[in-house]
Amino acid sequence: MGDSLEEKYSTMFSSLKHPARRKILKMLSERPMTFSEMLDKLEIPGSHLTYHLETLGEFVVKKEDGKYRLSSFGESSVSLMRGVEEAPSVETKKFSLLPLRWKSLFAVFMICIVLLVSVSYVQYASFNHLLRDYEILQADFERVNSQNQQLLLNGSTDKSLIFLRDVIRIDLAKYQVTLISRTVEDRSDYGDMVEEIFKFALVDGDSKLDIVLRFRNNHFSLYQLSILEGFPPYAPEYVQSELTDIIKVTRDLIERYKSNISDPYLEEISQLLALANETSNELTVGNTKLKILIDGDNVEVLIMFTANGVDFAAKKLHLIFHNHALQELTDDWFLYDIGGTQVNVSKEEAIQIARNAAEDFEWNASGVQVSDFEILNEPVSALFFPHPRTDPLTLIPYWYVTLYLDRIYAGGVNSIAVGIYADTGEVASIQALSGQPVT
């Protein structure tokens, strides 16, 4: 420790030994100066000035504007020089006549100045050392992060990233990919199925995107893209909203999806798409039905299970394109089984069953029991769609009938909804609805 301090003192005093260097420090203590300004003041060759500035080292710093300024170490050194230079101006006789107390105080003052300069130098050197260490650590972090990113994107077996790369065809190497969240939940409403949801953020220089992926029992179920800033993470999948383009894009995507999961129903869907052409927006082959809806640059492709004229819309593969980019892909085909396709109750019969069930219906709203109400003959709504009965993942033909009331009753109720199984005519549910629009 002592040797190191002696070296610092030696460096400091040897740097101040030359008069030109002392003059440079005094000039810079008055104001920052450029190299040319100092050269004019000193009237020495430029090479000599360069040598003196290099020798001064930690005493001066060069800022971004090209001007030289004193460092904190240099300012302390100038204070020391002034103290030393002004001391001889006091007559020796008078100094010798000063009381011992004042001489001691002066000596202590000079020692404090020297210590202050030394401490400043040590602190400056320590700060520079810490700064270099920080820069090294930051470079190491960026290198390791880059390596981890490549491992994540190119060598990972994670099903979500593989799906994005191989099926959706996002070049993940072009983005900073961050896993925002991962949730796992047992869905009792889906027969205790395990649902896993990933949310990723993709960022590059021009784009900021959020992507959600859902897996059910380790099977892909949902892809959603949200463009927060910039552009899609891939080239638009088609140029014009024409059936030929849409069918081709859908066919290519299903082929990539088949390579990812190899489920038999995807082969049936591929056969359907191979027969599709630009002449019709709908096509049915066997138990597979295709419907395409086009609205400008937005397209919806629905591929669902159908049997005996009954469309099981919940058992589907669904694609949504927005502004030529694939915004959503849903696969619920694998999720559901078909419990029956027989429809023994017509629409008119379902409406009558609903009216009969509503005659004995009543509800309670904030302590008010309502049992006396009037049902209108018109309007009435009857929607047909398959619905689970006992098994939440088995679909049964089903009618959903909405009966409208003559006015608004307690609780804001203006209609009654009745669910009816279309194979048996059994009433599955009945409930009062509030705020339902009359259609």
Same domain, 169 and 205: yes
Domain end among 186, 217, 235: 235
Same domain, 303 and 380: no
More confident residue, 100 or 347: 347
Number of domains in the chain: 4
Same domain, 26 and 38: yes
Task: Name 414's Cβ contacts closer than 8 Å, sequence gap at least 6.
Answer: 404, 405, 407, 408, 433, 434, 435, 436, 438
Percentage of the chain beyond pLDDT 90 is: 46
For residue 322, tell me if it sits in a domain.
yes
Domain end among 186, 210, 235: 235
For residue 35, tell me if it sits in a domain.
yes
Q: What is the pLDDT of residue 155?
A: 42
Same domain, 123 and 198: no
Same domain, 362 and 414: yes
More confident residue, 23 or 312: 312
Q: 41 pLDDT exceeds 70? A: yes
Q: Which domain holds residue 200?
A: 156-235
More confident residue, 280 or 343: 343
Q: Give the residue among 324, 330, 238 at the shortest CA–CA distance from 278.
A: 238
Q: What is the pLDDT of residue 24?
A: 79
For residue 163, tell me if it sits in a domain.
yes
Same domain, 192 and 218: yes
State pLDDT tens for residues 165-210. Answer: 999 999 888 899 999 999 999 999 888 999 999 999 999 888 899 9
Q: 291 pLDDT exceeds 50? A: yes
Q: What is the pLDDT of residue 301?
A: 94
State pLDDT tens for residues 77-97. Answer: 777 777 666 655 444 445 556
Same domain, 19 and 87: yes
Same domain, 164 and 218: yes
- Average of per-residue pLDDT values in the chain: 84
Kindly indicate the confidence band of residue 129, based on its pLDDT and cuts at 50, 70 and 90.
Answer: confident
- Based on DSSP, count helices (H) and strands (E) in the chain, helices before strands: 11, 20
State pLDDT tens for residues 6-17. Answer: 666 666 677 777
For residue 137, tell me if it sits in a domain.
no
For residue 149, tell me if it sits in a domain.
no
Put simply, whether the predicted model's pTM sits higher than 0.75 gets the answer no
Q: What is the mean pLDDT of residues 326-353?
A: 95
More confident residue, 54 or 186: 186
Same domain, 24 and 123: yes
Same domain, 419 and 369: yes
- Tell me the one-letter amino acid at 26: K
Q: Which token pair is 270? A: 């591929």
How many other CB atoms sit within 10 Å of the CB of residue 246?
23
Domain end among 208, 235, 262: 235
Pick from 57-61, 150-154, 223-227: least confident: 150-154
Distance CA(103)–CA(109), nearest Å, equals 10
For residue 145, tell me if it sits in a domain.
no
